[in-house]
Amino acid sequence: MRTLTFAALLALASPALAAGPPQFQLRNAADLVRVCSLPASDEHFANASGFCHGVLAGAYRYYVAVTAQADQYLCPTNPPPSREMVMNGFVAWAKAHPQHYDAPAVDTLFRYLGGAYPCKK
């Protein structure tokens, strides 16, 4: 069910993800890592950072909206981490796990989030 939900999110978001410069197209997790890790010196940094934050926040908000609270497996800390912390954590985790680069971006994001912010039930 979870994979189907994220696949639906990607299908709905595909036209939006294709907009803008080619470097902002998300075909897989490697593309999301690349966009989210542009250095501040890059001319596209501000746009890339905003794009990355939007993808991360949008994917999480969608997950919360469509997943019953009893079925949620992500439980952010209190206070919740900043978008910057999540982005940097995701990039570091993904770079340490390049075997997931060819997987869908949102699936890989949630693989990271599930390990970084598991619910303690």
Give pTM, 2 decimals.
0.79
SS (H, E, C) 64-105: HHHCCHHHCCECCCCCCCCHHHHHHHHHHHHHHCHHHCCCCH
Q: pLDDT by residue for the chain (121 residues), tens digit each?
A: 555 444 444 444 444 444 456 567 889 999 999 999 999 999 989 999 999 999 999 999 999 999 999 999 999 999 999 999 999 999 999 999 999 999 999 999 999 999 999 998 6
3-state helix, strand, coil in the chain (%, to 5): 65, 0, 30
